[in-house]
Each structure stands twice: as C-alpha cells, then as structure tokens.
Amino acid sequence: MAAHDDTSAEDRLIARFFKPLATHPGALNLSDDAAFLTPPPGFDLVLKTDAIVGGVHFFSEDAAQTVASKALRVNLSDLAAKGARPLGYLLSLALPKEVGEDWLEGFTQGLRGDAVLFGCPLFGGDTDRTPGPITISIAMFGAVPEGTMVRRAGAKAGDRVFVSGTIGDAALGVLMRKGKGWKLSEPQRQHLVSRYLLPQPRNVLAEAVRTHASSAMDISDGLAGDFAKLCRASGVAADIDVARVPVSEAAKAVIAADPAALESVLTGGDDYEIICTVPAAKADGFRAAAKAANVAVTDIGEIKAGERVRFLADGRALTFKRASFSHF
C-alpha cells in the first residue's frame, strides 16, 4: 500500500490493520511496492475489479464489517460465474478524515473473516484520504484450468437458462431501507435487508458452472438487464418464464401486496446470483452438481435463435421502465 501525506501514520495504519491479512508469501508482508503471484501450472488467471461507494452501494450507517464483506463478495461473485476459484485480491481504500480506527477495526474483521471463508488473502493495495464518500475498490484474481473460463459469449439455441438462489430480495431490501412500507413480518423484513447488506456469492457452484455451462455471468445490475447482455454477447434470443423465476417467501409477500414490485424484482440488481446457459444434454448433470454443492438452481427458460429476449408472464411479453440498474 503506497504512502502519501503522512508516511509514518499510514505505515502504522497498514501495519495494524492490513498486514495481518496479507498471509500469502507473495504479498511480501506488505513491505514492498508490489506483490507477486505464480499461477498454478496449467491454469489461467482470471482478473476482476469492482468498487463500492458510500451512498451508492451501501448506507452510511451500515456496519463496517458488512461493508468489507460486500466489497469482497461482489468480486467473488464474478469469479464464481466464470468457473474460477479465488486466489487473492488488492485493495484500494479512500477514507474521509472522520472515519476512525473503530471503523477500520470492523472493516478489517470483515475482510479477515471472508479471506478465511473464501480463501482469498490480501496482496496489497493503496490507502488515501478523500473528502468523501468512502470508496472501496477491489481487484481480485482467480484461477481456472487453461482455456475453460466460462464467458458471456457461448450460449446456443436450445440451451436451458438456469439461475441460482432467489432473485429480487436485495432490490426490495433497498426499497424498504428507503422507506417502502410493505406489511411484512419481521423475519421477512430481515431477510430482504440481509440480502442487500451481505451478498452470498455462489463460489461453491463455480466448478459446476465451469464443467456444464456454455455461458454465464453474475447478476449485479438486475436479472433482465444482465441476461440481455449475455444474450447480446452470445448473439442469441431467449424466452424466460417469469412464473418460474425463483423468489423468496418474503418477495412473494411483497409482490402479493404490491404487484408493481415485480419489476423491481426482475430489474433491481444486487442479487449476486449466477445466470447461466446449459446445453439440454447437460441440464440433469448441472442440477445434480448444484445439489451436491447445496445451491438451489432453477430452470427459467430457453435460448432461441434470433436477437429478442422476452420475459413472459401468462404468455405476454413484459416491458420494463428500466431494464437494469445503471450508474450513468
């Protein structure tokens, strides 16, 4: 991590909070300007970077520990969709001056817990001051056997479309945090908010995706918009049966009370689930591998020839005000 205005203060911060996270020999105990990593023989490196920003991806009152976990997990989710296993990450952290050591203590606890859980140590990075808000950028790297990374491009007509987990919980959780007053039980409310606060990347599903899927990506900006990106990259069309899109009991309760919320479920983002296409002949094998990994997967549609992606409800194609989340 590079030094800036106050070298001794930053060195002390790095030594206290971040050196304990740099457990790989190639991190050089954060004592150098760079680190090194030798990929396993016969493997490709898979590279990914994503940032989260206060007020955009998390609320200022969110616990530092969950903020750290979210920063890691949004990147881990991408590796899972590529069929890769994580190797480690670089961290760039820009902090307003009012952020103190208590926040950093919680933040590094979150990083430490997920480093152990997912096997991704810190290799280095950078710390800066900023007038605000907090900005956390992760550059993560993983490994996949040579030539086997699952890309967006690769879906073929006849493939089945699978999605992991449930869709829309996080988007509804954000709306609730912003004051949406659906009448839900406390466990239902907690479920929706927790899905926004702490994504559950499907890294245990990575090998099943790698060995069965023809294309895949993680769902970060909404099912409808992200799946449309996959289909554009693959040069295919698709029909999705909205009734088969997996939603939680909490989300079902919201939709029952407010049918218009279905659009938020399908387009809202922050799911961090995997959408993938699987050749029909491999569909049963994919289901079995997912079950062995203890991750629910649901067949929601079929890839077609052409260019149009349709989300069908009672045979009618839905139209959306905004197909996916966008920063711009």
pLDDT digits (tens, 9 = 90+) for 208-224: 999 999 999 999 999 99
Q: What average pLDDT does this structure show over 319-326?
A: 71
Indicate if 170 and 109 belong to the same structural domain.
no
> Model confidence at 327, in pLDDT bands (50, 70, 90)?
very low
Q: Is residue 322 part of a domain?
A: no
User: Which tokens go with 203?
Assistant: 């890294």
Encode pLDDT of 243-286 as tens digits. Answer: 999 999 999 999 999 999 999 999 999 999 999 999 999 999 99
pLDDT of residue 91: 96
Which one-letter amino acid corresponds to residue 318? L
Host domain of residue 302: 160-316
Q: Is residue 2 part of a domain?
A: no
CA distance 70 to 45: 23
Distances (CA, A) of 109 to 20, 32, 114: 10, 23, 9
Question: CB within 8 A of 274, min separation 6: which ones?
Answer: 77, 80, 81, 162, 163, 164, 202, 205, 209, 216, 217, 218, 219
Indicate if 117 and 171 belong to the same structural domain.
no
Q: Is residue 42 part of a domain?
A: yes
Q: Which residue has the tokens 């997990």?
A: 73
**% the chain with pLDDT above 70:** 96
Mean pLDDT of the chain, nearest integer: 92
pLDDT of residue 100: 84
Indicate if 113 and 187 belong to the same structural domain.
no
Indicate if 49 and 103 belong to the same structural domain.
yes
> Model confidence at 323, in pLDDT bands (50, 70, 90)?
low
CA distance 175 to 18: 34
Encode pLDDT of 140-167 as tens digits. Answer: 999 999 999 999 999 999 999 999 999 9
User: Which tokens go with 290?
Assistant: 């997912």
User: Which tokens go with 54?
Assistant: 């206060």
Indicate if 101 and 205 belong to the same structural domain.
no
CA distance 316 to 301: 14
Indicate if 115 and 254 belong to the same structural domain.
no
Query: Nearest 5°: phi and psi at 53?
Result: -125, 135
CATH of the domain at 242: 3.90.650.10
Indicate if 73 and 138 belong to the same structural domain.
yes
Of 82, 112, 145, the position where a domain reaches its end is 145
Indicate if 197 and 282 belong to the same structural domain.
yes
Of 90, 110, 145, the position where a domain reaches its end is 145
Indicate if 172 and 134 belong to the same structural domain.
no
State the number of CA atoms in the 13 A half-sphere of 97 facing the CB: 3
Q: Is residue 27 part of a domain?
A: yes
Indicate if 83 and 213 belong to the same structural domain.
no
Q: Is residue 296 part of a domain?
A: yes
Q: Is residue 303 part of a domain?
A: yes
CATH of the domain at 100: 3.30.1330.10
Output 28 or 249, whichever has higher pLDDT: 249
Indicate if 57 and 32 belong to the same structural domain.
yes
pLDDT of residue 181: 77
Q: What average pLDDT does this structure show over 113-138?
A: 92
Q: Is residue 321 part of a domain?
A: no
Encode pLDDT of 72-121 as tens digits. Answer: 999 999 999 999 999 999 999 999 998 888 999 999 999 999 999 999 99
Of 145, 172, 206, the position where a domain reaches its end is 145
Indicate if 113 and 180 belong to the same structural domain.
no
pLDDT of residue 54: 82
* Number of domains observed in the structure of the chain: 2
Q: Which residue has the tokens 């987990």?
A: 165
pLDDT score of 328 more than 50? no
> Model confidence at 1, in pLDDT bands (50, 70, 90)?
low
pTM of the model: 0.91
Q: Is residue 30 part of a domain?
A: yes
